[in-house]
Amino acid sequence: MATGICAASLQMTVVCYGAFLLAGAYKKGYKRRMKASVITFPGSNCDRDMRTALEASGMEVHAVWHADSELPKSDLVVAPGGFSYGDYLRCGAVAAHSPIMREVKAHAEKGGLVLGVCNGFQVLCESGLLPGVLMRNRQLKFICKDVHLRVEETGSAFTAGYETGQVIRIPIAHHDGNYVIDEAGLAALEDNRQVAFRYVDAAGNAGDAANPNGSVANIAGIVNKQKNVLGMMPHPERAADLYTGNNDGAAMFAGLLDALSAA
């Protein structure tokens, strides 16, 4: 009985917190409620977490099935974490050919925002929306822990809520998060300031000891050249509420809301 009361109390608190944030969004003068779509693939397991984080930030969120042929009217489309299609062939390789991905590509080509987290990052790479590929972690083991990230650029809507060089703490949970790209591709990413986040230690130093999976140049997340598509292995939606003990990811969603309202 006590457990049920506590669960109900927590649920009510979360609902009220979301309503509070939404009210704050309107007080900021936003002319309309921003719209986001979160895709569910067979094997997705972070879609609900992402929807909750986006709703709490004040966005109107639609759930989209991978086999759908149309996207709802959306400012932001999210490919969430999980193990789409059981990670068969390669992580994200099958999901990249889901019917909805044609619409996601069209959305991105028109300048719409697209976010891929963990498995979603893998899907975006496999679909060609982002360069490079995610390979098996160098330890050949699944890794689940908090890591420190350094914000490398703030020129995109995804990172506008942070300061350049800011160190944040975000959880990771992956088996295939080792970002790989050839030398020419890496040089292009660096030259175009497409590296959004880099794995670092708590002091902000990027080195091998701070690299959890072997990713080239400690890369944790990148944007495309137009900076309207972001892929990252860490999970900001799991660090978007103080009830989880960490809300460093909340600034991403708040920044997105500000950027979308100004568009």
- Pull the structure tokens for residue 184: 């020419």
Residue of 46, 91, 118, 125 marked catalytic: 118
pLDDT score at 23: 43
3-state secondary structure of 84: helix
- Per the listing, tokens 């929807």 go with 51
Q: Please give the angle made by the CA atoms of 248, 254 and 260, to the nearest 5 degrees.
A: 145
CATH topology of domain 2-135+178-191+223-262: Rossmann fold (3.40.50)
pLDDT score at 14: 45
Q: Is 60 a catalytic residue?
A: no
Residue of 55, 103, 153, 237 marked catalytic: 237
pLDDT score at 90: 86
Rounded to two decimals, the pTM is 0.89
Q: Is 66 a catalytic residue?
A: no
pLDDT by 10s per residue, the chain, length 263: 444 444 444 444 444 444 444 444 444 556 578 999 999 999 999 999 999 999 999 999 999 999 999 999 999 999 999 999 988 888 999 999 999 999 999 999 999 999 999 999 999 999 999 999 999 999 999 999 999 999 999 999 999 999 999 999 999 999 999 999 999 999 999 999 999 999 999 999 999 999 999 999 999 999 999 999 999 999 999 999 988 889 999 999 999 999 887 76
- Pull the structure tokens for residue 132: 């490079």
Cα distances (Å, whole numbers) of residue 84 to 24, 80, 81? 35, 10, 8
pLDDT score at 13: 44
pLDDT score at 29: 59
Q: Is 46 a catalytic residue?
A: no
| Burial call 121-147: b when 16+ CB within 10 Å, e when fewer | bbbbbbbebbbbbbbbbeeeeeeeeeb
Residue of 66, 174, 175, 235 marked catalytic: 235
